[in-house]
Structure 1
């Protein structure tokens, strides 16, 4: 038996047990309180009985005193209507009061005996008083003494009141005990009922909480499903066996112009007949009738915006928790853009094939041009330079200054043109040769380039001092020969353009960024005007005169080409007379272009 089945029997006994507990806690305190209330009433009644007996005895004594006082007053010659009325009232109350006392003390034999004796004395004293009151003769002192002393009642009244006070104390003590038990019972019953009510409240709260939580979870799940369904921008519709709409999302209503709730409508009537395609409807009907799934079925539909779209329809059976039968989950994806893109890509590929042919022709022409430059142009230049030297030696000392100047200009121009051709060929090869990717230690490349530049500086400018500040540099992926060309051009320019500054300070640094490595080469040389920074990396573009700083104007263009082929870029910051800073970036190894990729 699984553990989930165990709580069921307990739940069967829970309600009867709860009902029995309610009956016990409600009925038992009621019975106890009723008995305690009856006992309390009885005790209070006995207390009140004692008070009534005592009050009747005092009333009897008072009436007797009034009667005797009236009799004495009349005997003394005082006679008036008020006195006789008071005497009459007291005389009339004596016997009824005695009868009431006998009735009140019928359950107490001792008191009955005392009251009988008291009654006898009072009757006799009343008879004496009546004779005095009714007599017209003078009352003697002996008669008054006989009335008072012969039939005493004071001791009997005191005894009766004393006994009643003793009984009163006992009855009051008993009444207090009963009242105390009643209070304790009431508090106990109240606490028990509070505990029961607390248990009932906790149980009902837990049950209500569970129910509310379940309902809340169900509502949240339903709302979440509705929100998710409406959030999806792909049209979604659920249909039954008759292909009638069970549910749809907002994207479906928007695309097919559905206003309000389309539940119960036939799918073929939705969207002005957009779904009225026999082949599509038949295949959708097979989804539920035969338990099949429909995948990537294309249909051209005219939607609510009067645009023909190519829709990719998918459908599969799906059970719903509130239905006995399954429904078909149908999704319609608009692939019109993809279709148009495919057509455009095919057209672009066709055009690209023509461009590839053109590029191949251009590359063959460039190769022919490079061959012509490297062979056909070099020979005439060598002849001009060589024969110019021979002509100068042939003329010897007889050559005048003007002729010598002409020969020097001719030879130097030929040599400059040869250098331009060499740099141009290097620039061309940088764009055409394949990348040979490998790990390159930039620190080693900078050290090698620095050593070569220091050697050349010692020969060409012996008095020029250079302070090098090279920070640690990383290992990158790239073509080692091309990256060597980068450092040779950048550091060579820094040395060349800082010859007017003593000492020259050249700094090389690198920082790692999110995109790769960021290198800087900074000098304190001549600098340049940032207005002309756009020309800096063009072929044969120079920002300084050749007489001031020698060069062909191709070095920075070569650097830009190498870095572009490596997926990096270069830019510069400078100020005239305050030096320049060249920045360039290289991506990390995973972002490097392929060995056969090229970049302009």
Structure 2
């Protein structure tokens, strides 16, 4: 009986999840407060940035005023070293200050435009101021002073820039205060979140304890159910450890090998009176556990508890134990003794059948050789009979009486008819002996060629016989072109011959696909037809349903059709009513189902 399955420990993902929750309780508030502090710092940095911009604008305005005041003083004749030093300092600070303003307002396109306009005006005023400062007193004119002071105003631009920065300052101060309030709320929210997370951890721990208790109970019940299922299985099952001692087994195993009581811990070789004491089997079972290999369909003869020697199929694979880190080998055993006996009987029947087939093949080959030999040996005597009959008629001339003329005509016509029968028999024999030469065959072209030949013969033999042809589109198939030409020649030739009493004759050639995707051809005429009770004779050698005086022929054409189609893997049949015409059907397999070109002869 299987050991009880212990409940699983805490799921692998739950313990890391609990650790993550604890980390979240500690780290999340810190991150929230850190984010709030960063937001406050960023907001106040923007306020300081606004103050810096405004200070640079005022400094620029002050430097311009100092430089222009010094230029006016120099133009008025006041010139000393202190004045010159102050003017030069202001002149040196103007361009760096403009660059600082451009850098400070790089994030504000509107201020950039104002700074650019201010820069243009300042540089132009500075150029006039520089000329006044560097010129002699007597060279300075009122126009120069007027151009410096009044032509390029900058105070409105400076006021606009300062006003924009004041507006930005108000907005940024409000945002900084809002961020500071939000940071205080985040602090309280973080504390509340910590309390909630701690409460959740406590609730989860309580539920986990209750779940573990339920899991232990369920595991015990599942173990009991598994034991019942295992004992219900009628296939013998046993699990062995690395020392090949029994860990568990089911009732079927105990019944088959005569195990009495509990076999847990016993060596496998001691069970079943040595049924498992096979070195090769034990080595392969050891490889399953040691090397992770699987054992599939290993056959072994074992003598079981009932004393019968059975052929057993052993399958084994490695199986981890749910209650420990060890693994065992799970072995299943199947009795295939009956199957083995059936296989031996089938092989014997196949051997006998193969012998019968060889006998039939030998008979067929002998019959074909006999037919071929007889046909060839008869041709010369028949030629002699027909030839000498004609000579005899010519030799007697007009002196021959009617009865003698009749005898000679019957003799010659019979010899010629027999010669025709031999020719057809040779064709029939050749169709069975020659190898198939498979290739793609355009049935449309093959039918067109056959029709042209039959139309030519009909124009010579029965010029009054009119034929209406209806030919459906036909496919390209895989087969022996010469043999398939013989099929169409026989079927269409019969349609022309047996429809000579119907004017006009209508011959239809149709095509379709069967349920198994085979090519299905039909040849339909409105000729004499036949009685369906004799349909089984149609495709036999020398079988005819009409008198030779009514319709000439040898009775081999349809037999040749069946032989060709059989060698191609197809079949032929016919449907008809007397006086209502006939429909001949034949099938050819799809390209992928064609027989090999070197198949055995039928």
Question: Same fold per TM (> 0.5)?
Answer: yes
Specify the alignment match of 1:530 in structure 2: 532
1:385 aligned to 2:386?
yes
Deviations 1:135-182 (A, max 9, x none): xxxxxxxxxxxxxxxxxxxxxxxxxxxxxxxxxxxxxxxxxxxxxxxx
- 2:438–2:597 contact (8 Å) kept in structure 1: yes
From the superposition, tell whether residues 518 and 234 of structure 1 become closer, same or farther in structure 2 (CA, over 3 Å): farther
What's the offset of the Cα at 1:383? Answer: 0.6
Specify the alignment match of 1:545 in structure 2: 547
Specify the alignment match of 2:460 in structure 1: 459
**In 2: Cα distance, 1:574 partner to 1:227 partner:** 68
Match of 2:469, SS state, is strand
1:320 aligned to 2:321?
yes
**In 1: Cα distance, 2:20 partner to 2:397 partner:** 130
Specify the alignment match of 1:590 in structure 2: 592
1:569 aligned to 2:579?
no
- 1:509–1:520 contact (8 Å) kept in structure 2: yes
What's the offset of the Cα at 1:314? Answer: 4.3
What's the offset of the Cα at 1:329? Answer: 2.8
From the superposition, tell whether residues 524 and 365 of structure 1 become closer, same or farther in structure 2 (CA, over 3 Å): closer
- 2:540–2:559 contact (8 Å) kept in structure 1: yes
Specify the alignment match of 2:490 in structure 1: 489
1:330 aligned to 2:331?
yes
- 2:237–2:253 contact (8 Å) kept in structure 1: yes
Match of 1:439, SS state, is strand
Specify the alignment match of 2:511 in structure 1: 510
Specify the alignment match of 1:468 in structure 2: 469
- 2:289–2:328 contact (8 Å) kept in structure 1: no
What's the offset of the Cα at 1:438? Answer: 0.4
- 1:506–1:521 contact (8 Å) kept in structure 2: yes
From the superposition, tell whether residues 302 and 458 of structure 1 become closer, same or farther in structure 2 (CA, over 3 Å): farther
Specify the alignment match of 2:416 in structure 1: 415
Which of structures 1 and 2 has the bigger CA Rg? 1
Deviations 1:368-392 (A, max 9, x none): 6524421x21110001101111111
Instruction: Please tell me the root mean square deviation across aligned C-alpha atoms, in Å.
Output: 4.7
From the superposition, tell whether residues 442 and 362 of structure 1 become closer, same or farther in structure 2 (CA, over 3 Å): closer
- 1:564–1:599 contact (8 Å) kept in structure 2: no
Q: Which has the higher contact order (CA 8 A, sep 6+)?
A: 2
TM-score by length of 1: 0.57
- 1:230–1:250 contact (8 Å) kept in structure 2: yes
- 1:470–1:508 contact (8 Å) kept in structure 2: yes
- 1:267–1:275 contact (8 Å) kept in structure 2: no
What's the offset of the Cα at 1:525? Answer: 1.5
Specify the alignment match of 1:34 in structure 2: none
Specify the alignment match of 1:283 in structure 2: 283
What's the offset of the Cα at 1:584? Answer: 1.1
Specify the alignment match of 1:239 in structure 2: 240
Specify the alignment match of 2:556 in structure 1: 554
From the superposition, tell whether residues 242 and 446 of structure 1 become closer, same or farther in structure 2 (CA, over 3 Å): same
What's the offset of the Cα at 1:598? Answer: 3.4
- 1:243–1:266 contact (8 Å) kept in structure 2: yes
What's the offset of the Cα at 1:512? Answer: 2.5
- 1:317–1:326 contact (8 Å) kept in structure 2: yes
Match of 1:327, SS state, is strand
- 1:235–1:249 contact (8 Å) kept in structure 2: yes
Structure 1 residue aligned with 2:22, among 8, 12, 16?
12
**In 2: Cα distance, 1:568 partner to 1:387 partner:** 45
From the superposition, tell whether residues 569 and 321 of structure 1 become closer, same or farther in structure 2 (CA, over 3 Å): same
**In 2: Cα distance, 1:473 partner to 1:232 partner:** 60
**In 1: Cα distance, 2:231 partner to 2:416 partner:** 76
Deviations 1:25-45 (A, max 9, x none): xxxxxxxxxxxxxxxxxxxxx
**Unpaired stretches in structure 2, ≥5 consecutive residues:** 1-12, 28-191
Match of 1:448, SS state, is helix
**In 1: Cα distance, 2:422 partner to 2:525 partner:** 29
Match of 1:467, SS state, is strand
- 1:439–1:478 contact (8 Å) kept in structure 2: yes
- 1:507–1:522 contact (8 Å) kept in structure 2: yes
What's the offset of the Cα at 1:509? Answer: 1.3
